[in-house]
Structure 1
Amino acid sequence: MKICFSIIFTVFFCVSMESQTIRDFSATSLDNNTVTFSSLKGEGLTVLDFWASWCKPCLKSMPYIEGIYTKYKDQGVSVVGVNTDGPRSQSKVKPIIKSLNIHYPIILDMNNNLMNDLNVLSLPTLLIVDKNNKVIYRHEGFVKGDEKRIEEELEKYL
Structure 2
Amino acid sequence: MKTRRTIIMILALCVALSFTACTGKGDVGKAGSSSVSEGTEKTEDLQAKLDDLYQQENEIFEKHKDVWEKVFSKMSKADAGSDNYVEYLASTVESNKNSFTDDELKTLKEDIETIRGIEEQITEVENKLDTSGASDSKDDDTIAFNNVSGKDFDGNDVEENLFSKNAVTVMNFWFTGCKPCVAELSKLNELNDAIKSMGGEVVGVNTDTFDGKEATIKEAKKILESQGAKYRNFALDANSDAGKYASEIMAFPTTILVDRKGNIVGEPMVGGIDNQENYDTLMKQIKSVIEADSANK
Conserved in 2, the CA contact under 8 Å of 1:46 and 1:79? yes
**Which string of whole-angstrom CA distances, capped at 9 and with x for unpartnered residues, describes residues 55-100 of structure 1?**
1111112112111101011111011111111545433111111111
Question: Structure 2 unaligned runs (5+)?
Answer: 1-83, 85-118, 127-134, 291-297
- Bigger radius of gyration among the two: 2
Instruction: Kindly report the root-mean-square deviation, in angstroms, between the aligned alpha carbons of the 2 structures.
Output: 3.0
Write the mapping of 1:8-27 to structure 2, written as runs, cut at 5 A. 19-27=142-150
Highest RCO, 1 vs 2 (Cα 8 Å, sep ≥ 6):
1
**1:139 Cα deviation after fit:** 0.9
Deviates more, 1:115-124 or 1:89-98: 115-124
- 2:248 is the counterpart of 1:154: no
Q: Identity of counterpart residues, as a percentage?
A: 21
- 2:269 is the counterpart of 1:139: yes
Is the partner of 2:223 in helix, strand or coil? helix
**1:17 Cα deviation after fit:** 9.1
Deviates more, 1:37-46 or 1:25-34: 37-46
Residue 89 to residue 97, structure 1, CA distance change in 2 (3 Å): same
Is the partner of 1:36 in helix, strand or coil? coil
Conserved in 2, the CA contact under 8 Å of 1:21 and 1:135? yes
Conserved in 2, the CA contact under 8 Å of 1:29 and 1:105? yes
Supply the AA of the counterpart residue of 1:58: C
> Match of 1:108?
235
Conserved in 2, the CA contact under 8 Å of 1:18 and 1:135? no
What TM-score comes out, normalization by structure 1 length?
Answer: 0.79
Question: Structure 1 unaligned runs (5+)?
Answer: none
Is the partner of 2:250 in helix, strand or coil? coil
The alignment of Structure 1 onto Structure 2 pairs a total of residues equal to 151
Distance in 2, matches of 1:149 and 1:68, equals 12
